[in-house]
Chains A and B, each alone.
Chain A
Amino acid sequence: MMGFFIFGNIKPPCMHLDDSELLRDFRQPGTKERAFTAIIKKYQEKLYWHIRRMVVDHDDTNDVLQNMLIKVWNALDNFREDSQLYTWLYRIATNESLTFLEQRKKRASVSFGDVEEGLSNKIVADKDFDAGKLEWKLQLAIQQLPEKQKIVFNLRYYDEMPYEEMSRVLETSEGALKASYHHAVKKIEEFIKNN
């Protein structure tokens, strides 16, 4: 787990700053850290939950989020702004989550199906898990999906992301995304009805 570095008692600037302003401040040496902190505060919860829906465990989520934001720190200077900042952040978070799961699979020398079973077990092992609640059944159902369908479903269902934005995040055509979402929803519905 990455160590923490406290930036003193610096209070982040207003979170309602425009992304372009934050990027401009980030590129100035004197305001770089403050702008980066503001970007984190602005998007941390969204990115956190996007990652956690993939990896389930909080500690794993924290690791992935930290790694992902370090990459952002290193690469933000070269961000071309040809897409929205949050689209770019989502793309990094998605790839970082997939990389994490892939590495876990290799480390455990198990098939990816077993990794999914492990994630389902983690859900069941959560201290707040309640098998009678539909929200928990939904999480179990999501873990049954193939990776791509899982990401598409999460982005559409939870983040309510338009297909146009999603295609930029996942670099996939809108038609393929719609098909993935449709199949994912059907599978989830079937899982919930059968369980």
Chain B
Amino acid sequence: METKNTILQEVAQISQDVANIGNHNVYTAPAGYFDNLPAQVLAKVTAGNVAVGQVTPMPYNVPDGYFDGLAGNIMAKIKAQGAQQKNDIFFDAVIETQFPQGLPVPYSVPQGYFADLADKVIAKIKIQHNTVEADLASDAFFPLINAPYTVPQGYFNSLAGTVLAKIKAQQNNEVFAELEQIAPLLNTISRQMPYSVPQGYFEEFTVNTTVEETEAKVITMNTHSRRRWVTWAAAACVAVLAGIGAFLYNNHSAVGGGVTADSNKTINVDQAIASVSTSDISDYLNSQPSTGAEVQPTSLEDDVPDVQTDIDETSTQDIQQYLKDNSEPDEKQGKDI
């Protein structure tokens, strides 16, 4: 009241006319509006984002007259349930009276069935158990346990070989790497032999060890003797020429001016030789076919282009080994084992 009076005094100080109007409320609210207002507001708040004044329609339909007969239906069912219980009780009472040991079963059981039933069941269990154990060791195991995966047939049989082949491949990288440095082209070529083998050859291959091996008759050709003859002939020619030369030299130095008929011939030869220049003699000798080993001129560049390179790159020991390996065949006899 004190506050209200203070405000009125304040308004009067400002405007007496306004103070004289008074603070009576001129608006009115519907009857009972404020009585139900809190409940209404709370209901709308709990309903969610429902705008004030709006009602959300239910999506379900109810049959016509459902609620009208609902109560009567429920009562009828209650009454019926009660009657059924009464009938069951009656039925049980009748059964107990007529069949004190229970209702008879219409089926028959073979004689002695139950006597060995336990043994039969146990035997079947054992059989199944053994079957499972056997299948554990085989590829059929997986279907028994309904595994979702399958293994290709024979997979485990070839697994060891596959793994060994891969290990060997890793070890043999050395050969691959070596070839890669020398001639990479050869690494691109398949190592599978292109030759064909008669079908079943390896499967049917056997060795007849009871047949005595007969040494193949070796018929030596006269190539070696021809080579040796040529060598000896060349040596003989050289010796003859040397002998002739020595003979002529001796005669020339021994015989002075005196000549005989033979000397005339000798002197004529001497004169002829003396009149021939050294270059003419060498040209003559070169033009004559040799009776010894003929050396065919070869073009190293054409036929053996890399001999010099090979020689330069080969060590002395290797050359010696090469010469040893490529010696005459008859020197190789007896070196089989």
Contact A175 B209 (CB under 8 A): no
A9 to chain B, nearest CB (A): 12
From B194, B205, B210, B313, contact of A128 by CB (8 A): B194
Residues from chain B with a CB closer than 8 A to the CB of A73 are: 207, 209
Contact B208 A5 (CB under 8 A): yes
CB-nearest residue of chain B to A135: B194
A169 to chain B, nearest CB (A): 13
From A6, A96, A102, A189, contact of B206 by CB (8 A): A6
Residues from chain B with a CB closer than 8 A to the CB of A99 are: 336
Residues from chain B with a CB closer than 8 A to the CB of A36 are: 207, 209
B329 to chain A, nearest CB (A): 6
A14 lies within 8 A of chain B by Cβ: no
How big is chain A's contact interface, by range? 35 or more
From A45, A69, A139, A157, contact of B207 by CB (8 A): A69
Contact B208 A2 (CB under 8 A): yes
Q: How many A-B residue pairs have CB under 8 A?
A: 138
Contact B205 A52 (CB under 8 A): no
B175 lies within 8 A of chain A by Cβ: yes
Residues from chain B with a CB closer than 8 A to the CB of A173 are: 317-318, 321
A24 lies within 8 A of chain B by Cβ: no
Produce 1/0 per residue, A123-166, CB < 8 A to B: 00011111001111011000000001000000011101000000
Contacts A2-B211, A70-B207, A71-B336 hold; do A53 and B193 have CB atoms under 8 A apart? yes
B183 lies within 8 A of chain A by Cβ: yes
Contact B206 A128 (CB under 8 A): no
B161 to chain A, nearest CB (A): 10
B interface size (C-beta, 8 A): 49
A49 lies within 8 A of chain B by Cβ: yes
Contact A188 B183 (CB under 8 A): yes
Residues from chain A with a CB closer than 8 A to the CB of B321 are: 172-173, 176
CB-nearest residue of chain B to A52: B195
Contact A186 B182 (CB under 8 A): yes
Complex Cα–Cα for A129 and B329 (A): 33
From A69, A127, A133, A185, contact of B196 by CB (8 A): A127
A41 to chain B, nearest CB (A): 8
B10 lies within 8 A of chain A by Cβ: no
Residues from chain A with a CB closer than 8 A to the CB of B220 are: 106
Contact A133 B194 (CB under 8 A): yes
Q: Which A28-76 residues sit within 8 Å CB-CB of chain B? A: 36-37, 40, 44-45, 48-49, 52-53, 56, 58, 62, 66-67, 69-71, 73-75
Contacts A109-B221, A136-B194 hold; do A179 and B175 have CB atoms under 8 A apart? no
Contact B195 A192 (CB under 8 A): no
Produce 1/0 per residue, A164-195, CB < 8 A to B: 00000000110110010011011011001100
Contact A138 B186 (CB under 8 A): yes
A121 lies within 8 A of chain B by Cβ: no
CB-nearest residue of chain B to A2: B208
CB-nearest residue of chain A to B196: A128
Contact A135 B202 (CB under 8 A): no
Residues from chain A with a CB closer than 8 A to the CB of B207 are: 2, 5, 36, 40, 66, 69-70, 73
Residues from chain A with a CB closer than 8 A to the CB of B86 are: none
Contact B194 A185 (CB under 8 A): no
CB-nearest residue of chain B to A99: B336
CB-nearest residue of chain B to A91: B337
CB-nearest residue of chain A to B183: A189
Among B172, B195, B213, B321, the one with the most A-chain Cβ atoms within 10 Å of its Cβ is B195
Contact A5 B206 (CB under 8 A): yes
Contacts A73-B207, A106-B221, A133-B194 hold; do A179 and B186 have CB atoms under 8 A apart? no
Complex Cα–Cα for A95 and B329 (A): 12
From B191, B204, B211, B216, contact of A158 by CB (8 A): B191
Residues from chain B with a CB closer than 8 A to the CB of A139 are: 194-195
Contact B194 A183 (CB under 8 A): no
Complex Cα–Cα for A3 and B255 (A): 81
B192 lies within 8 A of chain A by Cβ: yes
From B175, B201, B208, B315, contact of A175 by CB (8 A): B315
B311 to chain A, nearest CB (A): 11
CB-nearest residue of chain A to B209: A73
Residues from chain B with a CB closer than 8 A to the CB of A182 are: 182
22 contacts between A and B (CB under 8 A): A2-B208, A3-B211, A4-B206, A5-B207, A40-B205, A45-B202, A48-B197, A52-B195, A73-B209, A95-B336, A103-B218, A126-B196, A129-B194, A135-B193, A148-B322, A148-B326, A157-B186, A157-B191, A183-B310, A185-B179, A192-B185, A193-B185
